[in-house]
Structure 1
Amino acid sequence: MCMGTLINVITSAVVIESVSTEDKRGDLGSMKCCCWILISLLFAIDKAIGAKQPNVLIILTDDQDVVLDGMHPMRNVKNLIGSAGATFENAYTSSPLCCPSRASILTGKYAHNHLTFNNSMSGGCYGSHWRAKDEKHTLATILGNAGYSTFYAGKYLNAYHGLEVPPGWQHFFGLHGNSVYYNFTLRENDHNVSYNNVYLTDLLRDKTLEFLDQRDKEEPFLAFVAPPAPHRPFTPADRHRGAFNNTKAKRTPSFNKVDKEKHWLLATSKEIPEETLSLMDSYFEKRWESLLAVDELVASIVHKLQQSGELENTYVIYTSDNGYHIGQFAQPFDKRQPYETDIQVPLLIRGPSIKPGVTVTTPTLLIDLLPTILEWIHLPLDPQMDGQSLHPFLVNADSYDAAADMYYNRGLLVQHKGEGNLRTYRSECPMWKPEDRLAECTRESACHCQDSWNNTYACVRNFAYGINHLYCEFQDDEDFAEFYDMYDDPQQLRNMAKQMLAIERALYSLALKNLTKCAGAASCSIHVF
């Protein structure tokens, strides 16, 4: 029996035993502790007999879409990761907003289980619950306990301004606050360092290359690199300014279209004025330009691994925390909406046992990444994690098509808690009042507010044989719902909720009720029909 299998068998037995003693709270805590101590011990034995655990490299961009051709600038990413591995066609975030999505990636959990619902402290972003509970059991702590050298560089969580290094990260270069490109502060292990005329993406590249040069080569590594692009303020490196001159925002069928059949925030909108449309074109251009430095970062890191002979034993993951819209349904520029522009994300993976140039059609969530990594490194899947391993779909990608599998069925939960309240009112948009409880209302966006209290929803993105649906329920005064058949209406132009059969709507509503209460992969694997 190989050591990886031995680790899996023994630690799985410990997990099973701990679950069987669930009613004995003290015993349960002890068993969990013993489980991870045993994992670490077995890993040390594994290393001692010469087995080589794979390395893991994650590059996480900020607000990079798929639908609006956000991958267009990424020539190196597509060649060095996609062509050398797998490209996912149906990858989604479970929360189309930075902080909850990043918390989900780190924990493998839905937002209702890690309680980070939006980018505000009151919404759980780097809040007390996160720091006291979920941050202590993340990708970093799990792999660190298993003998990995762990490295983080870039944006962590939006509300992070801490003096402490988050648990598990042995080499930490975390950005204070939200994404910026110049004039920022990093928490560099035990102290803060402020930078002025340094481009953040380039600095993150250099920090990562330095880590790869100086680390203990006898230990496998986890490196998590989180550059700011293409998040606002959309600042490209000087060398890339003008690279996409005269590029305009994609005029999709929903571009600047006011849709009265959408939920309140969108239905009450107005067409975007011409001067704002010009600004949006400029932002679209700069988003692409800001990504060119990320593309160079990826090339530099991959080439470094190639030179050191470690590339073939390294899983490389490239993805984004959420998508983005620019002009769709008369919303100028943001995320937070339950439509494909905002919830679909790029996902490309290369590594051992993954065949080059394959396409994965299996519907996927970002919460699936951590369970997948655990399978790669022969650790048992944690039953508290809501995601599921993608490894079987990755290794069989050239022979498996989820859309053609009459037995495949998975409902993906997408959820968001609107940030609008009395305190988010901005006087620069006097047409709105504090009691409207709107958020992200600026002159820059022609006072088209990007969020509101009733932009709070739960959706199921449902995939099954012959089925490709999105069903959403909003927490508002109307019990508003939206339903789209994505085969017939991929642009989501026709809300068919009122035309649904009563039994169909009841089944979707029941699925949402179960999904928003689920905890653990077993209870979160829900079929709508």
Structure 2
Amino acid sequence: MIRRLTSSAQLRSRQRIALSGLALLAAVGLGLAASNPSSGNRANARAAAGRPNIILIQSDDQTMRQFTNRVMPNTTRLLSRHGTKFTDYIATTAQCCPSRASLLTGQYAHNHGVTSNAAAYPALIDKHNVLPVWLREAGYRTMHVGKFLNGYVQFAHPPSRVAPGWSEWYTVLRPGTHYYDYQLGVNGHLRHRGHKPEDYVTRVLGKDAVHLIHAHAPQRRPFYLQLDERAPHVGLQKDPFGSCDRTPIPDRRDEKRFKNAPLPHPPSFNEANMSDKPGFLSSAPPISASNQLRIRKHWRCALASLVGVDRDVGKVFKAVKQAGELYKTVFIFISDNGLFFGEHRIASGKVLPYEEGLRLPLAIRMPKRYLSGARRVPKVGKPVANIDLAPTILDLARARPCLPRRNCRTMDGRSLMPLLTRSGGWPKDRGLLTEYQVADAGRYATCEFAGIRTRDTIYVRHSRVVNPATSKCIPTDQRERYNLEKDPFELHNLCFGGSAANCPASAAQVNLEARLSRLRDCAGIAGRDQQVNGRPFCE
């Protein structure tokens, strides 16, 4: 049996003790002002003048199949065609809050503490030791627009309070699932939006992002802008202008854009034979015709809602160009996690470690001046993850994951710059951890798992699943292994039926077991970081 994910108390103890070496991340170590913060910030602002602006735009629940030129022409043209598209980018925990916590920390969930949406923002360890704080220490203006981590409103007092590290705060507060009739926190003040067309959340967030760019791009101080879109997450309200009730709600002008779009039917859709799957999932019934119609409606509304996100990408890009900052601005586009649309008989939801939930869009547009003389890399197929984003951003900003007095967070990811600049130094057979832990879950669901995903294989061990008879989580040892090259739709579990006895008896299986055992308790990277309490390195 796999050991449980570490308790929050143990995690906090680890983080208090851990110091990060990170000698290879920062090309230039920045002096951190401990005695006089105001003068230190001015000095850092001057030092930062030659570094790039960084804009990260994150969609919500967008799948890889939805990242196409037909759905998002601005994004694919401006970022993918003129940047680098990563074809094997994953979320290490495929759920909103854990994924976003990994973006803020560069860590796996077992290190940052947010192992599920239920754990949410209160579980985040060292809340003041996160990406926007590090960037501010390095002289950046940090600007947040849109959705933040689940549970922040319940944690913050008052709810409009600005989260640590942000210079500008234009954040959706509550209800967190609404496209109309919601509250924003604007630099500590509440702002209510109604149900008029101009209140549509994607329009508002795009307008706020453009406003901040026009206000701060002309200044010498570089900025980091994180635009966290609401779409295409399901909206738990009635669509005031169309028929997308309780689905992703599009902008009024986009309601009919994909009204006839077919629902994709990959080989895994409504999977015909589930006998290879673990017991908790193999008993899931086929998806009924009426439920398939509901899934199709969700799909069409999701595509239409992404038109607004794509419009925002175009507006943000145009604002940067108008400000004369395009030559020194890096753009990053991601999704936080994927979603199921009937694959493996899963009618909706996320979390489960199949490709539909794990593998996501990632595109980076990098000005030539930051490529170290290398030609642009159009496409990268190596396994990368959301834990790599914070190290990449810090590398670009020449910053470190530290507060004053060398209170540093040990990151588990690595900078993507070697892949973008063709400079080598990337691991040959990289294995990434996927993990999840929650107290309770729904039917046909897992409550806890840990797995390893490489370029061509995923191997997962479920240690707690839902008992269909009681709807409670119970201990188990159910396994899945798929050859992603030969079986990209994950139809043939090599550990048939989830049984350990049916896993291949091979050296490769022994190697996967050993690597997974190391990864699920790992911290940091050998040669870059100090070892944390004798724990294994992630790489």
TM-score band w.r.t. shorter chain: 0.7 to 0.9
Look up the match of 1:58.
56
Per the alignment, residue 461 of structure 2 pairs with 473
Tell me if the contact between 1:371 and 1:385 (Cα under 8 Å) persists in the aligned partners: yes
Residues 210-261 of structure 1: per-residue CA shift (max 9 Å, x gap):
1112226121101000111111031000100110121122101111115122
CA–CA separation in structure 2 for the residues paired with 1:93 and 1:50: 30
Q: Deviations over 1:147-171 (max 9, x none)?
A: 1111101110122213221101111
Q: Which residue of 2 aligns with 1:339?
A: 354
Q: Which amino acid aligns with 2:192?
A: S
Distance 1:90 1:49 in 2: 35
8 A contact 2:79–2:331 mirrored in 1: yes
Partners of 2:48 and 2:231 lie apart in 1 by: 40
Cα distance, 1:401–1:137 mapped onto 2, change above 3 Å: closer
Listed as ranges, the matches of 1:264-303 within 5 Å are 264-303=279-318
What TM-score does the superposition give when structure 2 sets the normalisation length? 0.79
**Cα shift at 1:209:** 1.0
The structural deviation recorded for 1:508 is 1.8
Aligned to 2:97: 99
Q: Which residue does 2:270 correspond to in 1?
A: 256
Q: What is the distance in 1 between the residues matched to 2:106 and 2:376? A: 26
Taking the aligned partners of 2:253 and 2:110, their CA distance within structure 1 comes to 42
CA distance in 1, matches of 2:228, 2:389: 15
Partner Cα separation in structure 2 for residue 338 and residue 245 of structure 1: 30
- Unaligned 5+ segments in structure 2 are 1-17, 22-28, 236-247, 402-407, 465-474, 496-501
Deviation readout 1:88-130 (Å, 9 max, x if unpaired): 011011100000000010111100011101111xx2x011x42
CA contact (8 A) 1:411 1:461 kept: yes
In 2: Cα distance, 1:221 partner to 1:144 partner: 9
> Would you say the 8 A contact 2:523–2:538 is kept in 1?
no
Q: What amino acid sits opposite 1:504 in the alignment?
A: A
Aligned mates of 1:361, 1:19 — CA distance in 2:
29
Report the Cα distance in structure 2 between the residues aligned to 1:112 and 1:71, rounded to whole angstroms. Answer: 36
Identity %: 29
Change (3 A) 1:478 1:71: farther
Q: What is the deviation of 1:188?
A: 1.3
Note if contact 2:74-2:313 (Cα within 8 Å) is conserved in structure 1: yes
* 1:182 matched to 2:180: yes
2:436 matched to which residue of 1? Answer: 416
Distance 2:417 2:477 in 1: 39
Say which structure, 1 or 2, has more relative contact order (CA 8 Å, 6+ apart).
2
Shift of 1:325: 1.4
1:207 matched residue in structure 2: 208
The one-letter amino acid paired with 1:479 is: D
Residues 272/383 of structure 1: CA separation in 2 closer, same or farther (3 Å cut): same
Deviations 1:408-464 (A, max 9, x none): 1111001112452xxxxxxxxxxxxxxxxx42xxxxxxxxx4x64x4421110023x
Aligned ranges 1:186-265 → 2 under 5 Å: 186-197=184-195, 198-215=199-216, 217-233=219-235, 234-257=248-271, 259-265=274-280
* Counterparts of 2:505 and 2:41, CA distance in 1: 54
Amino acid at match of 2:219: K
Match of 1:521 in 2: 525
Q: TM-score, normalised by structure 1?
A: 0.80
**Corresponding residue for 1:136?**
128
Partner of 1:392: 418
One-letter code aligned to 1:170: S
Q: Is 1:509 matched with 2:506?
A: no
CA contact (8 A) 1:82 1:357 kept: no
Distance 1:334 1:71, change over 3 A: farther
Write the distance in 1 (CA, Å) between the matches of 2:486 and 2:47: 56
Partner residue of 2:3? none
Distance 1:471 1:314, change over 3 A: same
- The equivalent residue for 2:12 is none
Q: Distance in 1 between matches of 2:258 and 2:537?
A: 43
Measured after TM superposition, the shift of residue 391 of structure 1 is: 0.3
Write the letter of the residue equivalent to 2:250. Answer: P
Deviates more, 1:276-285 or 1:497-506: 497-506
Query: 1:471/1:43 Cα in 2 relative to 1: closer, same or farther (>3 Å)?
Result: same
**1:347: how far off?**
0.2
With over 3 angstroms needed to count, the CA separation of the structure-2 counterparts of 1:505 and 1:151, relative to structure 1, is: same
Deviation of the 1:383 alpha carbon: 6.3
Distance 2:48 2:93 in 1: 41
Change beyond 3 A, Cα 1:174–1:18: closer
Bigger proportion of residues as helix: 1
Aligned length: 456
- Give the Å deviation of 1:67: 4.2
Measure, in 1, the Cα distance between the counterparts of 2:537 and 2:482.
22
State which drifts further: 39-48 or 167-176: 39-48
TM-aligned CA deviation for residue 324 of structure 1: 1.4
Residue pairs, 1:383-462, within 5 angstroms: 384-396=410-422, 408-418=428-438, 420=440, 438-439=441-442, 449=443, 452=445, 454-462=446-454
Once the two structures are superposed, residues 156-193 of structure 1 have per-residue CA deviations (whole angstroms, 9 ceiling, x without a partner) of 01222132211011111122253321111111111222
Tell me, in whole angstroms, the C-alpha distance in 1 between the residues paired with 2:106 and 2:165. 16
Task: Calculate the aligned-residue CA RMSD, in Å.
Answer: 2.7
Match of 1:433 in 2: none
Q: Mark the runs of 5 or more structure 1 residues left unpaired by the alignment.
A: 1-16, 21-31, 421-437, 440-448
